[in-house]
Each structure stands twice: as structure tokens, then as C-alpha cells.
Amino acid sequence: MEKVTVKMTENLDKEWVELIGSALELGISSAEIRDFLHNKGHVTSN
């Protein structure tokens, strides 16, 4: 498995960076993570 580095930005705090790192280690693809992060702000619950 290739080494992936997750960088913190103003939108990702330390907790998110650790969560993403764990997800990558579990085999979740970066595309799936990107889709999740993109969609999390657009989902409304009724």
C-alpha cells in the first residue's frame, strides 16, 4: 500500500485528519473519502 499524507487545512481539524488517516488504513479509498467530505455539507435531515 502506498503512503498517503493528509494535510490539515482550515477545513480539516486534527480530529478529521486522524479519522481520514484511519479510514485510509482500513482500505477506504481517497475518492470515497472525498465524496463523503464533499457531500456532508449538502445533506439535510428531516
The predicted model scores a pTM of 0.51
- Say if 29 falls within a structural domain: yes
Using alpha carbons, list the distances in angstroms from residue 43 to 12, 15, 26, 39: 18, 21, 25, 6
Q: Are 6 and 20 in contact (CB under 8 A)?
A: yes
**Confidence (pLDDT) at 38:** 80
For the chain, how many structural domains are there in total?
Answer: 1
In a domain, 30, yes or no: yes
Whether 2 is covered by a domain: the verdict is: no
Tell me the pLDDT tens digit for each residue of 4-45: 777 766 666 788 888 888 999 999 998 998 888 788 766 555
Give the pLDDT of residue 8: 61
Residue 5 lies in a domain: no
